[in-house]
Amino acid sequence: MLKIFLAFVRKETFHILRDTRTLVILFGMPIALVLIFGYTISNEFKGASIAIVDEARDALSAELIAHLTASGHFELVAQPPDMAGMEKAFQTGEVKLGIVIPAGFEQSFFREKRAAVQLLADATEPNYATTLTNYATQMITAFQQEQGRVEVLPYQVGVHIQMLYNPTLVGAYNFIPGVVALILMLICAMMTSLTIAREKETGTMDLLLVSPLSPMVILLGKVTPYVVLSFVNAVIVFLLGYLVFDVPVRGSIVLLLVLCLLYLMVALGLGVLISTLAATQQTAMMTSLFTLLMPTMILSGFIFPIASMPTALQYAAHIIPAKYFIEIEKNIMLKGAGWEAVQFSSLVLVAMMLFLFAAAWRNFKVVYD
């Protein structure tokens, strides 16, 4: 039985190796995805274009402007004389953040001990707008403390913020786990469904079914090479994350890899299930893309936080395997957590795996009727 299984695995490996184009995609895609996400999705920014309407034109407003532009995060590209000029700058897309310093700024600040500054942000890009206003607010607060340090306030609530597990808010800490979840789902489930659908399409599946091979050996023989391939890919992405973007694995690497295999099994179950329902490679491909890729991207919490989704979608997110795997990855990699912290998510994945295996097995037609 083992010999027959190995003959099957060997043949499947030949298929994979023969198809160099697919091979390049299989190994190139994860690397490309990591680099693209790594260098584009980022909350850090430099040289954001701002405009300042300085209605005060006094010493303090000049100091504030100098303070804001000194950091290098903001680049002052326009100083329109009035609000109309500011609006124009926003419309052309020239500036993303506007700051209005009202007349009598210095006087209000020192005499009345209160001064207002208005921030305007281009919210057609909501995330960027939020990031910019947050950052500007922080800088203005710091400026105020610097200028007013001689004043001793009678009461004060000091807020100290500490960002746990990712103190410098590195984007890679979020996307490396996400990319691993996405790639494993894509390669393992999609390739499995494609490879089985291909045998059906070319008629070779009939020959396999007519042979004395048990259906279990047919399925295992077909999927094993893809499990190995996906696992290698996962390791490549983890390594890239570690070497290029300094994403650590603070917890147990063994536990991480074991649970990685568990997630692969879930993906595999999905792939086989899809292939039992799809008669052609094209159907298998489309079904995989729409039922796996999109939900994994959108509902897993990889790109959009689950907590800010509408209730219905939050429930939908609970059936997305990637959601649990990303939680597991983050717990182990970033928080250095052990088995207790990932127990629940792992058990959910085990349940999903068993369910999918059972469904796929029931649907795998040994006899057509």
Partner 1 sequence: MTAASQQPAITATGLTKKFGDFTAVDAITFSVAQGEVFGFLGANGAGKTTAIKMLIGLSHPTAGSATVAGFDIATQREQVKENIGYMSQKFSLYEDLSVLQNINFYGGIYGLSRRQIKDKSAEIIERLQLEAHATKVVGSLPLGWKQRLAFAVAGVHDPQIIFMDEPTGGVDPVTRRRFWEMIYAAAEVGTTIFVTTHYMDEAEYCNRISIMVAGKIAALGSPRQLKDDYEAASMDEVFLKLVRD
- Please report, as ranges, the residues that interact with partner 1 according to CB under 8 A: 3-4, 6-8, 10-11, 14-15, 18-19, 202-204, 206-213, 367-369
Compute the least distance from the CB of residue 232 to partner 1, in Å.
22
Transcribe 101-156 into DSSP letters: E-TTHHHIIIIIS----EEEE-TTSHHHHHHHHHHHHHHHHHHHHHHTTTS--SS-
| Cα–Cα distance, 95 to 51 (Å, whole number) | 6
Compute the least distance from the CB of residue 13 to partner 1, in Å.
10
Compute the least distance from the CB of residue 280 to partner 1, in Å.
13
| Cα–Cα distance, 351 to 353 (Å, whole number) | 5
Amino acid at the residue 362: R
Compute the least distance from the CB of residue 17 to partner 1, in Å.
10
Compute the least distance from the CB of residue 291 to partner 1, in Å.
27
- Judged by CB, which is closer to partner 1: 213, or 341? 213
Compute the least distance from the CB of residue 216 to partner 1, in Å.
13
Compute the least distance from the CB of residue 193 to partner 1, in Å.
18
- Judged by CB, which is closer to partner 1: 16, or 249? 16
* CA 320 from centre of chain: 14
- Judged by CB, which is closer to partner 1: 130, or 282? 282
- Judged by CB, which is closer to partner 1: 19, or 44? 19
Residue located via tokens 């600040």: 109
Residue 334: name the closest of 170, 159, 203 by CA.
170
The 3-class secondary structure across 183-208, one letter per residue, is HHHHHHHHHHHHHHHHHHHHCHHHHH
Residue 329 burial class via C-beta count within 10 angstroms: exposed 0-12, middle 13-18, buried 19 and up:
buried
- Judged by CB, which is closer to partner 1: 11, or 111? 11
298 three-class SS: helix
- Judged by CB, which is closer to partner 1: 19, or 246? 19
- Judged by CB, which is closer to partner 1: 91, or 211? 211
Question: 342: Cβ–Cβ under 8 A, 6 or more apart, which residues?
Answer: 255, 259, 327, 328, 331, 332
